[in-house]
Structure 1
C-alpha cells in the first residue's frame, strides 16, 4: 500500500523577489573532471532526487531550476552516490559552493550563502568535538563494570553541554535563521520540579503537553528535514496512549496546528495516514479510517489526483465495516452438504471466524494449528469455529477437512457469491481470522494462533475476575 502515500512534490509559490527567479547552485568540485552531480532532499527520514547536473571538464556543475526549492536540508551528492554534503535551502537560493572531497567539513567554502556559512560553522564545531566523542566511545567499549561506565558520565555531560550551549547561543544570535528553526525543534521540554499535590504522572503529562512548543508547525521549513518525522514517531510511539481513540484525538489536534502551512499539513497528514494504515498493531486501522473520512473524503488531500484519492478512500471503506468494536456483518452461507449456515444463528461465547483456502500454503500450516488450539482449550471455553472457504474446489476443500480431521467446526462456503464477505471482512489474502464475542461484536482480528491463544486466555481470565 506504500504506493498510495508517496508524496507528490508540488511547487509552492513564495512571494519573495529573490525566489521568483528559481534556484541556481553552482558547485566547483576539486578532483572531478566529469560525471554527474546530484541534488536530493529529505522528506522525513527518506531522501528523494531533486535535480542533477553534468560536471564540466573544469569540475563545475550548475544545479538550477525555474521554480524555487522548498526550504529544508538538501544533499549535494557526489558522482559515486556515496559521499555528500548537507546544505541548507531557505531564502538564499542562488549561491556557490567549492567542495574539496578530501575534507568536506574544513575545505568546503560557500559564497553568497550566509545560512550555509553558519551551518558550516556548526558542522566544524561538531568536528572539533569528535576527539571527545571518540574518548567516550572508547571508554564505554572498554568498560568492564558499571562503575567503569559511570566514570564516563561526566564526559558525556560535558559533550552534551557544549552542544546545547552552541545551539542556545546560535538561537539567540540568529532568531530567524532556518537553522534556529531546526535547533528549536530538536529541543525537548525541560520538566520542572514536581509541584506539591501533583501525582506521579506529572512529568509525563508536562512533557507531553509541551512536546510541540518549540516546533514550528506553521511553516514549511521542517518538512524537508529528518527532524519532523523523528518528532512525530517519538510522540505517537512513546507519549500517546496506544488506543485508537487517543491517537485520533491527538492526530486531529496536531493537524489543526499545521493549517497555516500547506507542506506541513501535507506531510503530517500523510505520515499519520501511512503509519496507521500499515501499522502491525491490531485496531489501528480505525485511525486510518478516521483520517480518510475526515480529511481525504472532503478533498483536503490536495496533492493527490483522483485515481490516487479513490484508492485511499476505497481502502478505508473496505476497512470501515470490520473495525474492532463493530458488530460483525451478517453471513448467510452453505455448509458442506449445502445446508444453510448463519453466523448470527450460531450461539457461542466466542466465535473464531476463519476465511481460508485449502490450496493456500500458509493456510495448510495455520488451519491445523488453529484446530489443535480449538481442541486443546477453546472448545471448553465455549468457542465456536466457523471456517469459510474462499478458493479451491469443493473436492479440495472436503479432502483437506477429512485429511486433517477438522471435526467440531462449522465448515461453510458461499457457492453463489451472495454474502459479499470479501468486502465486509476485508478478505484479500488468506487466512484471515476474526474473534467475535457472544453478541458477534468484533473483539480481535488478524491474529496468529499464539496471539489468539493469549488473547482468549486473557479475556477468559478477565471475565473470571470480573474485570470486564
Structure 2
C-alpha cells in the first residue's frame, strides 16, 4: 500500500512537473536600460515584418522576464528596445527557459546566453561570419587597388580560401548540431554551388545546363515545408526570387511550380495560408499582361475551396471575378458577340442631318468571329470618357499602319440610345475617325458583359483564330505587341515542330 501510494505520488509529481514546464520564461538583463518596457516579437516572412508576442518591464538593474503559459512556435525572434529604436535577434525552438544578457553599448558584441545552445551556436557563427566578411572586404579593396596580375591571383586565392572556410564551418555545424533549428537556418542562408557546364559529344558546352541545375536545386538548402523558417527574415525573399527570376514567366510554366510550393506548405495551416495568400496577392497585383490567369488559377484550385479564413462575401465576389474574367485570359478564344457596323459615309452625312445623327437603326449586324484578318484589335471606347478622348485619336492614328501588317481595328462605341449616338457621331466627325471599323450595339449590352467592360478604354488583340493574344494595354503598346506576334508567327512557320 505504501509502495502504491509512493508510485501514485511519483506519477502526480511528474505530471505536475510536465504541466508546469508548459510555456516559456526568458530572463533578460540589459545594461544601459532600466525602468522601461522591452518587447519580444517574431519575424514573419521578411526582414521588415515583425510582430509582437510579449512585453517585459526592466527594473532598476535592467532585469526583466518574458513569461507566459503557452509555447512559442519555433523561429527567429527579436527583443526590441523602444528607447533605443533597435533590436537584437534570438532563436527560439524548444528551449523555453533561458536567460540573455546584453549591453546597449554594443548589442552584437556583448550578448550572452545561458541554457540556450541554439543561441550560443547562432551568435558564435555570426561573430565568425562577421570576422570573415571584414577580412573579405579588406581583400576586395586591395584587389581593386592593385594592377599586378600576380598580386591579383594571390588575393583571389585568399578570397576563395575564405569562402571555403565559411562553407566548412557551415558543414561542421550541420554535422555537430543536426537537431538544432539554427543548423537549418544557417543552411538556408547558403547559396547553391552551380558546377561548370559539361561538354556534349560534339565538344560544345551546354549553354542551358547551369540555369537548369540552379532551378532544379534552388531549394536544396532551404526547406520551404518547415514553418519555423517562416518566422525568419528569409522566407518571402526566397519564394519571391524563385517565382520572379528563376522560373519561366509564362502562365503554363508557372502553374506546376505554384502547385509544388503550395503542396509543400501544407505541413502547417499557418504556412499554407501564408503561401497561398502571398502568391494570390502577388499575381493579383501584377502589371504583367496575362498574369491575371495565374490568379484565376489559384482562385479556382485553392482559394475558393480552401481559404477557410475568408468570409463568404469575399469568396462569392471571387467566384464572380473568376466567372467574368476566365473567358478573357490570354490564349482563350474571345467571346463571339454581335455588333452593328456603321459605315463611314453615315457619319459624314450625319454632320448636316440632325435626325440622322440620332437615328439608331443604321448599319449592318456582324458577328465578331466572322471578321477575317491575321490580327484584330478590339478597341472599346466611350466619347465621354476622359481617357478615351485621348486614346481614341491615338489608336486611330495607327490604323493604316496596322492595315499594312494584316491587322484590322474594330472600334466599338460603348454608347447607348439616341443621346449616346449623337455624342459618338460628333466625336468621330470631329476627329475624322473613319479609317477603322466603327461599331456599336444600340439594342443590348451583351458585349459589355462578355468582355467585362466596366471601364473604358479597353483593348484586346485577337489572332486569326480569335484567340486573345493581348489585352488591358494602351494604344502605345499595340504596334509593339503586333510586331512581336508577327515575328513569333514567322518563326513558327520555319520551326513547326515547336508549335504546341
TM-score normalised by L of structure 1: 0.81
Equivalent residue number for residue 354 of structure 1: 379
Contact 1:220 1:262 in 2 (8 A): no
1:255-294 superposed matches below 5 A: 255-294=262-301
CA deviation after TM superposition for structure 1 residue 129, in Å: 2.9
Identify which of 473, 476, 483 aligns with 1:457: 483
CA deviation after TM superposition for structure 1 residue 152, in Å: 5.5
Equivalent residue number for residue 92 of structure 1: 95
Contact 2:227 2:267 in 1 (8 A): no
Contact 1:119 1:179 in 2 (8 A): yes
Cα distance between partner residues in 2 of 1:389 and 1:68: 63
Equivalent residue number for residue 171 of structure 2: 168
Q: Of Structure 1 and Structure 2, which has the larger fraction of its residues in helix? A: 2
1:7-18 superposed matches below 5 A: none
Identify which of 377, 381, 385 aligns with 2:409: 385
Cα deviation code 1:68-103 (max 9, x no counterpart):
332222232221574221221221234333332221
Cα deviation code 1:319-351 (max 9, x no counterpart):
311111111123334567634564334333322
CA deviation after TM superposition for structure 1 residue 435, in Å: 0.3
Task: Using the TM superposition, name which of 49-58 and 117-126 deviates more.
Answer: 49-58
Contact 2:276 2:303 in 1 (8 A): no
Contact 1:26 1:96 in 2 (8 A): yes
Indicate the SS of the match to 2:267: coil
Cα distance between partner residues in 2 of 1:362 and 1:344: 28
Identify which of 158, 162, 179 aligns with 1:159: 162
Cα deviation code 1:212-235 (max 9, x no counterpart):
333324431211223232332333
Contact 2:39 2:53 in 1 (8 A): yes
Indicate the SS of the match to 2:479: helix
Segments of structure 1 that go 5 or more residues without pairing to the other structure are 1-16
2:42 pairs with 1:41:
yes
Contact 2:101 2:112 in 1 (8 A): yes
Contact 1:331 1:342 in 2 (8 A): yes
Contact 1:352 1:384 in 2 (8 A): yes
Equivalent residue number for residue 408 of structure 1: 435
Task: Using the TM superposition, name which of 216-225 and 83-92 deviates more.
Answer: 216-225
Contact 1:51 1:63 in 2 (8 A): no
CA RMSD between the two structures: 3.6
> How many residues end up aligned between the 2 structures?
449
2:31 pairs with 1:30:
yes
Cα distance between partner residues in 1 of 2:415 and 2:151: 63
2:305 pairs with 1:298:
yes
1:53-132 superposed matches below 5 A: 53=55, 55-56=57-58, 58=60, 59-60=62-63, 62-79=65-82, 82-132=85-135
Cα distance between partner residues in 1 of 2:53 and 2:413: 52
Equivalent residue number for residue 446 of structure 1: 472
1:358/1:70 CA distance change after superposition, 3 Å: farther
1:347/1:155 CA distance change after superposition, 3 Å: same
CA deviation after TM superposition for structure 1 residue 192, in Å: 5.1
1:89/1:313 CA distance change after superposition, 3 Å: farther
2:326 pairs with 1:323:
no
1:222/1:464 CA distance change after superposition, 3 Å: closer
Task: Using the TM superposition, name which of 275-284 and 354-363 deviates more.
Answer: 354-363
Equivalent residue number for residue 435 of structure 1: 461
Segments of structure 2 that go 5 or more residues without pairing to the other structure are 1-17, 343-358
CA deviation after TM superposition for structure 1 residue 257, in Å: 3.4
Equivalent residue number for residue 8 of structure 1: none
CA deviation after TM superposition for structure 1 residue 106, in Å: 1.3
Contact 1:181 1:221 in 2 (8 A): no
Indicate the SS of the match to 1:214: coil
Cα deviation code 1:114-147 (max 9, x no counterpart):
2112212122222323431442454477679999
Contact 1:331 1:421 in 2 (8 A): no
1:436/1:143 CA distance change after superposition, 3 Å: farther
TM-score normalised by L of structure 2: 0.77
2:249 pairs with 1:252:
no
Contact 1:282 1:444 in 2 (8 A): yes
Cα distance between partner residues in 2 of 1:417 and 1:149: 76
CA deviation after TM superposition for structure 1 residue 379, in Å: 2.1
Indicate the SS of the match to 2:42: strand
1:284/1:112 CA distance change after superposition, 3 Å: same
Equivalent residue number for residue 183 of structure 1: 186
Cα distance between partner residues in 1 of 2:19 and 2:129: 31
Cα distance between partner residues in 2 of 1:166 and 1:457: 54
Equivalent residue number for residue 218 of structure 2: 211
1:18/1:117 CA distance change after superposition, 3 Å: farther
Equivalent residue number for residue 4 of structure 1: none
CA deviation after TM superposition for structure 1 residue 397, in Å: 4.6
Equivalent residue number for residue 418 of structure 1: 445
